[in-house]
Copies of this chain bind each other. A is one copy, B any other.
Amino acid sequence: MTDHSPEAGFCCPDHSGTSQAQAILAQAEARAREAGLRLTPVRRRTLEILLEAHGALGAYEVLERLAAEGYGTQPPVAYRALNFLVENGLAHRIRRLNAFTACAQPAHEHRAAFLICESCDSVTEARADGMTRALGAAADAVGFVLARSTIEAVGLCRACAQGRA
């Protein structure tokens, strides 16, 4: 069994059925409360859907589930909820996959890097504060004022690299 604790710097790609998902959801709710965010039913459910997912989900996959549960059936419903979560640090957008994933550590502000497995499509979130600092320095060097950054890596997750590929 791999180490799935937050201290290991990453989170299991499959949150479902684990107490992890509930812990993360609780963190997210706490954070929303503190920040005065309105975690409405669609938004909350969207976050749960991301937490239940294996790997990242596309907006239309999220929409399917929402629609099946009586929420709106049209793309903006999913995009709005997802954008809300991303803007407020409760989820991340994975550009390489045109997909979204729940933030593994919504309790703390942090810079994340994403490790995307080519074989099983899992996405693990690694802390990237150091890399972000380095990037900030590089930006400073050319007079660029950095607002935010995205770091995405593609390769094989541990399980797939070990022959389960």
Q: Is A9 an interface residue (CB 8 A)?
A: yes
Residues of B within 8 A of A162 (CB): 143
Nearest residue, chain B, Cβ from A3: B142
- Binding-face segment, A24-32, A34-42, A51-59, A147-155: A147-155
Over the window 40-54 of chain A, the binary record of Cβ atoms lying under 8 Å from chain B Cβ atoms (1 yes, 0 no) is: 000000000000000
A132-149 to B contact mask, C-beta < 8 Å, 1/0: 001100110111111111
Q: CA A131 – CA B10 in complex, angstroms?
A: 18
The reply to whether the CB of A101 lies closer than 8 angstroms to some CB of chain B is no
State how many angstroms separate the Cβ of A2 from the closest Cβ of chain B: 7
For A147, give the chain B residue with the smallest CB separation.
B155
**Contact between B135 and A158, CB atoms less than 8 A apart:** no
B150 touches A156 (CB 8 A): no
Interface flag for A67 (CB, 8 Å): no
The interface-forming segment of A69-77, A83-91, A102-110, A121-129 is: A121-129
Provide the A4-15 mask, 1 if CB < 8 A to any CB of B, else 0: 000011100000
